[in-house]
Chain A
Amino acid sequence: MIFAIPLAWLQLIREKVRLLVALAGIGFAVILMFIQLGFRDALFDSSVRLHQALEGDIFMMSPQSTALIALDSFSRRRLLQAEGVPGVESVTPIYISFALWKNPADRSTRSIQVMGYDPSQSIVSKDLLPDSEALKLRDYVLFDRDSRPEFGPVAELFEEKGYVTTEVAGRRVTVGGLFNLGASFGADGNLVTSDINFLRMFDRDPGLIDMGMIRLDPGANVDKAIALMRKDIQDPNGDVLVLSKDEFIAFERDYWQNSTAIGFIFNLGAGIGWIVGMVIVYQILYTDVADHLAEYATLKAMGYRNRYLLSVVFQEAVVLSILGFIPAFFLCIGLYQATENATSLPLQMTQERGTFVFCLTMAMCVISGAIAVRKVQEADPADIF
């Protein structure tokens, strides 16, 4: 029956208003799912942005640290010990803390994440942080131009004048350059500065650092180096944790996914969208079948099999899911763009999420179809005479 009349399609387009309602309902569900899953992933991605940017092979932190926003410090000596492990090229102590930043335009204050390290070494790629020369000067900092806009028009001011002065932690500082990292769920904005400036700002014990970055010689075996460090430094002392870069990223992501309600909340939101969509599609398909019951019974009396009628309902379900998905998909690309601009969170349509939500939509429609299809069995041709 290849050339058969496409009954499912013709029935769908015959009822224009119903079709539009159905598509709007499905589109709504699709958008809800995209937004929830998009936000969830954006938050997770943003939380590991710094981790991904750091150009180290092995990282060291305190076992008491749970996430970037809840770092515990550990002894700098442990990191220096790692310098002696074969294959290690360099180690970089990193200080991280939050401080109040004064918006240079309107003088309002906001908490910003500050990172301090020895500026003669680089910790992220040149693309992100092209020039750290300014950090050699006293009380100079670099400002993350992808920070949230509440910190003020720092990038614009800097490009205009070549420097910006403001206060951080009650201390006068000069922004002597810009870099790109981006806001995360935990930090709305970022500053980097030299270790010396950092210690001036925060009055901390220089022997206690928050994070250690270790770089290996090219071609050195990472696993071997980690194993050695664990055996010689981590295990005997118990006051540091040695992680590969992947483990370091996974550690942070795991915190946001499993130790906060974020994952659950957004999954729940997406789940609700899915169920709402399913109910809408079910309603539409059920009414459609009910309206056509006498016609379906007629088809059965003509010799059409039950299977044919079931396939009509499922075709309608599949067509609805595709037609509902497409406009919502493109709308979401725009929504993501707008959200990214408004929140500085990394929010993009990925092929993975697109496919996932499409499959969810398809499942949503087909499951409702499977429930609605039971009504078709009621079409008894013996009753229509």
Chain B
Amino acid sequence: MTAATDPIISIDHVSHYFGSGRLRKQVLYEVSARVDPGEVVILMGPSGSGKTTLLTLIGALRSTQEGSLRLLGEEMYKARKSQLVRLRRNIGYIFQAHNLLNALTARQNVQMSLDLHPNLTAKEKKTRSLEMLEAVGLLDWANYYPQELSGGQKQRVAIARALVSSPRVVLADEPTAALDKQSGRDVVEIMQRLARQRGSAVLLVTHDNRILDVADRILQMEDGRLSTVQREEVIA
């Protein structure tokens, strides 16, 4: 395990390419960054600049092609596929679309992420799922199916699902994009509060200027290159 001062995510000269041969196109150029435990970092940038690509690399959904990418102290460059799948279990994902399982109730959706941790009993898993739904203010909706929930409620279930197993890292790709102003704000605040409580680091991709105040740091991505910016610069 890593010591408390070690970064949870450390990215060192990571480049990424799509396609092959003449169609090969570079989308990330020697990106370097780090995220420490408990930190909330926002990643901004124009469309097509490579934010999602970077997030999928960190989330062990793609293989690192060049450079070094360490998650929880484990090197992902040249890591085996099974190692990547195992690493994913330490990450809470929140997608732009909620991506809940339609055949499952809110509570069962949350519980799916606990099923990956076999040392819990069925009862414990159920209680923890319900507690988590309570934390996002949806206890009364635990037995509803995704179709019966509003967009903001679904996104809150998705947050509950991502956070219920207390992951060390939460990755969120434009979680508020499909929501109105107020529910977007609520969702981000819930996310920030719960991540703080659990000491999870958060890396949040957003276009939404109104939620920048939840961040400890803001990173800016432009044409596949990363730079740190001050909050004031962005808001101005």
User: Measuring CB to CB, which residues of chain A are less than 8 angstroms from any residue of chain B?
Assistant: 1, 3-5, 7, 10-11, 14-15, 292, 294-295, 297-305, 381-382, 384-385
Residue from B52, B85, B86 in contact with A385 in the complex, judged by beta carbons closer than 8 Å: B52
Complex Cα distance, B86 from A265, in Å, reads 54
A14 touches B88 (CB 8 A): no
- Do A302 and B93 contact each other (CB < 8 Å), given the known contacts A3-B122, A5-B112, A14-B103? yes
8 residue pairs of the A-B complex, CB under 8 angstroms, read A5-B115, A7-B103, A11-B103, A297-B99, A301-B61, A302-B116, A381-B56, A384-B99
Interface assignment of B39: CB less than 8 Å from any CB of chain A: no
Complex Cα distance, B111 from A262, in Å, reads 56
Q: Chain A contacts of B96 at CB under 8 A? A: 385
B108 touches A295 (CB 8 A): no
Q: Chain B contacts of A5 at CB under 8 A? A: 104, 108, 111-112, 115
Q: Chain A contacts of B91 at CB under 8 A? A: 303
B99 touches A303 (CB 8 A): no
A3 touches B121 (CB 8 A): yes
A298 touches B99 (CB 8 A): yes
- Do A301 and B104 contact each other (CB < 8 Å), given the known contacts A382-B62, A384-B95? no
Which residues of B from 84 to 117 have beta carbons under 8 Å from A? Answer: 85-89, 91, 93, 95-97, 99-104, 108, 111-113, 115-116
> 6 shortest A-B CB distances, which residue pairs?
A3-B122, A303-B89, A303-B88, A14-B103, A298-B99, A11-B103
Considering the complex, give the chain B residue whose CB is closest to the CB of A11.
B103
Considering the complex, give the chain A residue whose CB is closest to the CB of B51.
A385
Interface assignment of B118: CB less than 8 Å from any CB of chain A: yes
Q: Chain A contacts of B101 at CB under 8 A? A: 7, 292, 295, 298-299
Q: How many residues of B contact A (CB 8 A)?
A: 33
Q: Chain B contacts of A3 at CB under 8 A? A: 115, 121-122, 125
- Do A385 and B95 contact each other (CB < 8 Å), given the known contacts A5-B108, A303-B89? yes
Complex Cα distance, B85 from A304, in Å, reads 7
As a 0/1 sequence over residues 113 to 150 of chain B, the CB contacts with chain A under 8 angstroms (1 = contact) are: 10110100110010000000000000000000000000
B103 touches A385 (CB 8 A): no
The binding surface of chain A is classed by DSSP as helix
Considering the complex, give the chain A residue whose CB is closest to the CB of B125.
A3
Q: A5-B111, A14-B103 are in contact. List 15 more A-B contacts (CB 8 A).
A: A7-B101, A10-B103, A292-B102, A294-B97, A295-B100, A298-B101, A299-B112, A301-B61, A302-B113, A303-B85, A303-B116, A381-B56, A385-B52, A385-B55, A385-B96
Q: Chain A contacts of B93 at CB under 8 A? A: 298, 301-302
Residue from A10, A300, A305 in contact with B108 in the complex, judged by beta carbons closer than 8 Å: A10
Interface assignment of B59: CB less than 8 Å from any CB of chain A: yes
Q: Chain A contacts of B99 at CB under 8 A? A: 294-295, 297-298, 384
Q: Chain A contacts of B102 at CB under 8 A? A: 14, 292, 295
Q: Chain A contacts of B95 at CB under 8 A? A: 298, 384-385
B61 touches A382 (CB 8 A): yes
B118 touches A1 (CB 8 A): yes
Complex Cα distance, B93 from A292, in Å, reads 18
**Min CB–CB distance B46 → chain A (angstroms):** 17
Q: Chain B contacts of A10 at CB under 8 A? A: 103-104, 108
**Min CB–CB distance A239 → chain B (angstroms):** 74
**Min CB–CB distance B200 → chain A (angstroms):** 15
Complex Cα distance, B147 from A14, in Å, reads 12
Q: Chain B contacts of A381 at CB under 8 A? A: 56, 61
Complex Cα distance, B121 from A14, in Å, reads 26
A7 touches B104 (CB 8 A): yes
**Min CB–CB distance A143 → chain B (angstroms):** 63
Considering the complex, give the chain A residue whose CB is closest to the CB of B84.
A303
Q: Chain A contacts of B121 at CB under 8 A? A: 3
Complex Cα distance, B55 from A382, in Å, reads 9
